[in-house]
Amino acid sequence: MLRLTDIVSRFKYLPVVLVGAATLMGIEQGAQSQQADDALRALYQRPDAVPYPEDNPYSDAKAHLGKLLFFDPRLSGENNLSCASCHNPSFSWEDGQKTSVGVPMTRLGRHTPTVLNLAWGELFFWDGRAESLEEQALGPIASSVEMAQDLDQLVGKLQAIDGYSDLFEKAFPGTGITLENVGAAIATYERTIVSATAPFDRWIAGDESAISDAAKRGFALFNGKANCVACHEGWNFTDWGFHDIGLPDDQDLGRYEQLDIASLKHAFKTPGLRNIVERAPYMHDGSIRTLEAVVQHYNHGFVQRETVSESIFALGLTDDEVADLVAFLHTLSSDDPAVTYPKLPN
């Protein structure tokens, strides 16, 4: 006969076994969760070096010359606007205005995009009409509604400034002052404009105290329910692509005007999100003033039309989730070194 004591003896270790198995399962699941978390964070690791094209490699002389040209208003037709007039380092290389202002005090139709981290860029301007930074650099200079400088006269204008001859010769030995070298020098300087390490980067590197719990929840939402990662991917938070995000602008057709492809109507380049707090207002037309309003646009405020990106859909975010997302975006702001305005040559 099986005695009660035998039954107790047989099963007295069962709770321990069950607890042990549950613990092992928890450890395994925790390890898998940690691996997934590490893999996700790895997608946002900062690059180790700035890329420069083979046909326009970096040199100190070229970057120095490019900075002078970037801040020199004499590159404009009326000697009153420089590249830095719109791309102001105090506004994370934007200008804080809804849309840009050109000459003669012409209000343009698009918001000034940042030049931050463009060394990694693919196609430039909101509509992607420039294939390189070198091409982009000359575009606003020549535009009749921006800097309004006749490019045929620019070389002679620079040659008349004694200090520039030596600077161009140092940067471009044997070729001196040419339009191509103007674009190459400015592009080289622009590639040096890189956002510094932000709290988000310190968290990615393992400092759990670098960002708040709200920001951590926001990061999870960014990569999950809010679907921001569909377009804002990687360390600079952009796919460099073009998307119709449902802004109510029927006049500016964006990328479509360059390629005449119907699906690209209202499609504009995805901006990176580094230092995004300092870059208000937002969107290609500067129509949204706050980050909270940006999130609400994607949450439920976009215009419905055939060309709206398939990545844009009603998110169903709560007010707390919106706040968490905004908290995360604040962690992308870095304490960048102060930019000194250079002494221009005479």
DSSP states of 192-227? T------HHHHHHTT-TTSS-HHHHHHHHHHTTTT-
Strand partners, 124: 130
The answer to whether 200 and 332 have CB atoms below 8 angstroms apart is: yes
Place 26 in a pLDDT band, splitting at 50, 70 and 90: low
- 94, 134, 146, 190: the catalytic one is 146
pLDDT tens digits, 173-199? 999 999 999 999 999 999 999 999 999
CA 87 – CA 67 distance, rounded (Å): 12
pLDDT tens digits, 124-162? 999 999 999 999 999 999 999 999 999 999 999 999 999
Q: What is the reported pLDDT for 250?
A: 82
Q: What is the reported pLDDT for 4?
A: 38
Q: What is the reported pLDDT for 13?
A: 43
Q: What is the reported pLDDT for 33?
A: 66
More confident residue, 27 or 84: 84
Q: How many CB atoms lie within 10 A of CB 62?
A: 24
More confident residue, 32 or 269: 269
What is the average pLDDT across 289-297?
98
- pLDDT score of 262 more than 80: yes
Give me the amino acid identity at 255: R
Q: What is the reported pLDDT for 212?
A: 98
* Catalytic residue status for 146: yes
Task: Spell out where the chain has E strands.
Answer: 242-243, 268-269
For residue 114, give Cα distances in angstroms to 19, 84, 162. 56, 11, 31
- pLDDT score of 74 more than 80: yes
Q: How many CB atoms lie within 10 A of CB 260?
A: 10
* CATH 3.40.50.620 given to domain 60-191: no
What sign for the dihedral angle of Cα 66, 72, 74, 78?
Answer: positive
- pLDDT score of 170 more than 50: yes
CATH class held by domain 199-330:
mainly alpha
What is the average pLDDT across 301-305?
94
- pLDDT score of 330 more than 80: yes
Q: What percent of the chain has pLDDT over 90?
A: 86
Give me the amino acid identity at 74: R
pTM for the whole structure: 0.89
- Strands 268-269 and 242-243 turn out to be antiparallel
Q: What is the reported pLDDT for 23?
A: 62
- For the chain, residues classed under CATH 1.10.760.10 are 60-191, 199-330
What is the average pLDDT across 73-89?
97
What is the average pLDDT across 214-223?
97
The answer to whether 34 and 305 have CB atoms below 8 angstroms apart is: no
Q: What is the reported pLDDT for 217?
A: 97
Radius of gyration of the chain (CA): 26
What sign for the dihedral angle of Cα 71, 76, 78, 84?
Answer: negative
User: Scanning the structure block, which residue is given the tokens 């940690």?
Assistant: 34
Q: What is the reported pLDDT for 17?
A: 46
